[in-house]
């Protein structure tokens, strides 16, 4: 092996500053961190973009929409419906009215249901003559007026979901949780524990699951294969929500449970991106939650992300994916003003402790 003086050549000698903790992190102002993300593929100005995931994904979708990208809503709100009312009813949160999708298992289940490959044993919850969707329990705060209305709007929703996956060029998914509640009879996965937002909890019918890394990875691989069977060229863009758990049913301290959940999701997202040339990972989790950031972008509750944090995340995103044009839709108010206004079903769990 060749030597320079007494120093042997090795693979670390010519690495850039970003590869070393001292030069890449310790000696830098966190607000001046650069080169945290390098894109794997381009996003074209005409590429149809759709999103889903946990609450934090709402921020990403809005910034994409107001930055000139072709971010598409496949299930738009009724005409003239006020924005706050629309979001309270599940519209304009994501690219379809599916509400928050916290787990990969939920995502796979959505595709199976929309394409007719799975019908849950428990399709609707009735309460005092109102009908609630177990898989979208908060989209109608007071429930549907009739079973006929429920069925009609569910059919319309599934049509929108099918169109989304058939036409989307890039699908953004933010992984949020490993914890979920499932139906013991058929494995149906719910976004939130039955008996909180809607329904009635029954320990004989429902059980808690804390999905492992291998279970999450396998669920995403199945989901990706199903979608690519109908849309072979679709790209996937993965992020991990930096928002900690509101509550845990794991019998661990919530901080320990959050660390487990985010670690698992981050590992899975990284592995999925490394294995597939059309799957990319964007480090929104690290940009907000890594310890060099000193929690500066969290609100005082140390959980929700302040608008400045969202802006900082998207600054790194747009450094690689330049917005096609200034958004014409942003005439009224900048996106930052709306960034606190996200709908997060999980926050319902916190109110349970106060009752």
* CATH code of 260's domain: 3.40.50
233 vs 353: which has the higher pLDDT: 233
* pLDDT reported for residue 140: 94
| pLDDT tens profile 173-208 | 999 999 999 999 999 999 999 999 999 999 999 999
Q: Percentage of the chain surpassing pLDDT 90? A: 82
Q: How far apart are CA 330 and CA 207, in angstroms?
A: 44
Q: What is the pLDDT of residue 331?
A: 41
21 in a structural domain? no
In a domain, 31, yes or no: no
- Continuous segment of H or E residues that includes residue 231: none
- According to DSSP H, which parts of 292-347 are helical? 307-320
> How many domains, in total, are found in the chain?
1
Q: Is residue 237 situated within a structural domain?
A: yes
List, in sequence order, every residue forming a beta bridge with 52; answer none if it has no partner: 173
227-243 residue pLDDT tens: 999 999 999 999 999 99
Report which secondary-structure segment, H or E, holds 182.
strand 179-183
Mean pLDDT, rounded, of the chain: 91
CA atoms within 13 A on the CB side of 251: 2
Question: What pLDDT score does 332 carry?
Answer: 37
Residues 43-78: tens digit of each pLDDT: 999 999 999 998 788 888 888 888 999 999 999 999
Q: Determine, yes or no, domain membership for 52.
A: yes
- pLDDT, mean of residues 296-314: 94
Residue 327: predicted pLDDT:
45
Query: What predicted TM-score, i.e. pTM, was given to this entire model?
Result: 0.90
Residue 133 lies in a domain: no
In a domain, 136, yes or no: no
What's the token pair of residue 12?
């670390």
Structural domain includes residue 68: yes
Structural domain span for residue 210? 47-120+157-354
Q: Is residue 283 part of a domain?
A: yes
């Amino acid at each position: 092996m060749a030597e320079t003086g007494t120093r042997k050549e090795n693979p670390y000698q010519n690495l850039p500053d970003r590869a070393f903790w001292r030069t890449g992190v310790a000696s830098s102002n966190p607000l001046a961190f650069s080169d945290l993300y390098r894109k794997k593929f381009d996003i074209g100005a005409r590429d149809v973009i759709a999103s889903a995931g946990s609450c934090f994904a709402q921020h990403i979708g809005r910034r994409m929409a107001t930055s000139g990208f072709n971010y598409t809503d496949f299930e738009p709100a009724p005409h003239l419906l006020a924005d706050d009312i629309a979001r309270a009813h599940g519209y304009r949160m994501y690219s379809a009215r599916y509400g928050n999708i916290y787990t990969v298992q939920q995502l796979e289940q959505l595709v199976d249901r929309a394409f007719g490959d799975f019908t849950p044993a428990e399709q609707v919850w009735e309460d005092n003559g109102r009908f609630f969707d177990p898989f979208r329990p908060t989209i109608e705060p007071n429930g549907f007026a009739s079973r006929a209305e429920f069925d009609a709007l569910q059919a319309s929703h599934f049509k929108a979901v099918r169109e989304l996956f058939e036409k989307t060029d890039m699908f953004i998914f933010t992984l949020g949780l490993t914890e979920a509640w499932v139906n013991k009879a058929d494995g149906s996965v719910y976004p939130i524990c039955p008996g909180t937002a809607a329904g009635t909890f029954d320990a004989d019918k429902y059980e808690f699951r804390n999905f492992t890394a291998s279970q999450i990875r396998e669920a995403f691989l199945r989901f990706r294969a199903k979608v690519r069977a109908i849309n072979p060229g679709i790209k996937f863009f993965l992020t991990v929500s930096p928002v900690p758990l509101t509550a845990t049913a794991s019998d661990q301290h919530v901080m320990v449970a959050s660390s487990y959940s985010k670690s698992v999701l981050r590992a899975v997202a990284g592995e999925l991106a490394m294995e597939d040339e059309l799957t990319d990972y964007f480090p929104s989790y690290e940009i907000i939650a890594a310890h060099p950031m000193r929690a500066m972008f969290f609100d005082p509750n140390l959980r929700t992300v302040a608008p400045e944090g969202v802006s900082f995340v998207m600054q790194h995103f747009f450094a690689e994916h330049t917005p096609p044009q200034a958004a014409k839709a942003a005439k009224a108010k900048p996106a930052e003003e709306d960034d606190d206004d996200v709908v997060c079903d999980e926050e319902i769990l916190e109110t349970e402790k106060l009752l």
